[in-house]
Amino acid sequence: MKKLLFTTILSLLISYTIQSQCTESKQIAFQDGSFGNYTGCLDDNNLPGNGSGVLITEDFQQEGIWDSGKLNDVNGKTTFISDNSTYVGLYENGTLIKGTYFKEEDNIKIEYTGDFDGFSFQGFGVLEIAEASRSTIETGQFFGYKLFEGEEVVTYSDGLIVTKKTEKGKLVDEKRNDTNYYNPDDIIGGEEFCIVKLKNNGSVNDGVSYGVQMEINGINGEWVFDTGAELTSIGMRMFSRLVQEGVTYRDLNRSIKTFGIGGESIGRIIELDEIKIGDYTLNNFKVNISNDNNYSLLGTDFLNKFKNVEWNMKKSELKLIK
């Protein structure tokens, strides 16, 4: 049995070696009037076949195993001369069915792995695009080079991550890792809504501000309720104290600039869990940590984490609706 197996393998190797050493040449005429030069094995009909060969034209080069004048190979390869893009994979009757597309030039690198229909992305695949300032990964069903159904994730060099979902060729959802969105699963608490009492500071003549008491990991802090602020922020001194007292967080490696009445401010985005406000505990909340001031503001992005929010100025109350 072992001898028979060895003989079979040896015969295949000898056959492949003989085929791979073919050096016959033939000029191939195409329907558009152009020509290509083929070097390799020819079959009984004087067509590329019964082994490996290379076809070179003005536009492209194809190499691999040929059959009846067409590329038929599990590892065939086509290289286009104009941009040096390559298509490697399973060729059936001259058509690429499944494999990898690769192209690299200047500061961009493109690679697609998946299903093909000729040289078009067709079916399930993964497309990766790497550039100097960002990288993109598209995963799902492709149609004519474009993502038709699936997810696209764009990661920028400054830490921003944008996730997009496409259905039937249309963008249906887009989310950023530095932005807060409503998600009922992030709100822990049994009631439909809760009332949060605001701390009234100042007077009508001097100017009124409202303070909001919250806990992070059981540690107290106070924020100024500011409907004019888009982002919730924690000042330098408060954040230092919270961390010293045991608050945990996830750094998103995202630096940002904000602009307000006081001018430009530099900060970074982190993510927090276990923020207790009223009767609710809030998870997965992104907050701006100030690097150059001590303002701690509760902005509209915090309110966006809830289904709805009602502010009663006369009663100094916030009604948070789960």
CATH superfamily of 184-321: Acid Proteases (2.40.70.10)
DSSP letters spanning 132-195: SSEEEEEEEEEETTEEEEEEEEEEETTS-EEEEEEETTEEEEEEETTS----GGGEE-SSSEEE
| Interatomic CA distance for residues 131 and 134, integer angstroms | 5
Structural domain spans, the chain: 22-176, 184-321
Give the max Cα distance, the chain.
Answer: 103
pLDDT digits (tens, 9 = 90+) for 111-167: 999 999 999 999 999 999 999 999 999 999 999 889 999 999 999 998 899 999 999
| Interatomic CA distance for residues 165 and 138, integer angstroms | 10
Q: Tell me the average confidence (pLDDT) per consecutive run of 10 residues in the chain, 322 residues long.
A: 38 42 89 92 94 96 96 97 95 97 94 97 97 96 94 94 96 95 94 92 70 95 90 94 96 77 75 96 95 91 95 92 96
| Alpha-carbon Rg for the chain in angstroms | 32
SS3 call for 238: helix
Q: What angle do CA 71, 76, 79 make, to 5 degrees?
A: 100
| Interatomic CA distance for residues 36 and 83, integer angstroms | 19
| Interatomic CA distance for residues 43 and 20, integer angstroms | 13
Residue 33 confidence (pLDDT): 87
b/e per residue, 122-152, with b = 16+ CB within 10 A?
beebebebeeeeeebebbbbbeeeebbebeb
Residue 15 confidence (pLDDT): 42
| Interatomic CA distance for residues 76 and 111, integer angstroms | 17
| Interatomic CA distance for residues 143 and 71, integer angstroms | 24
pLDDT digits (tens, 9 = 90+) for 64-74: 999 999 999 99
Reported as type and span, the H/E element at residue 241 is: helix 236-244
pTM for the predicted model, two decimal places: 0.80
Residue 258 confidence (pLDDT): 66
| Interatomic CA distance for residues 183 and 282, integer angstroms | 10
Residue 215 contacts residue 279 (beta carbons within 8 Å): no
Residue 144 confidence (pLDDT): 85
SS3 content of the chain, % helix, strand, coil (to 5): 10, 60, 30
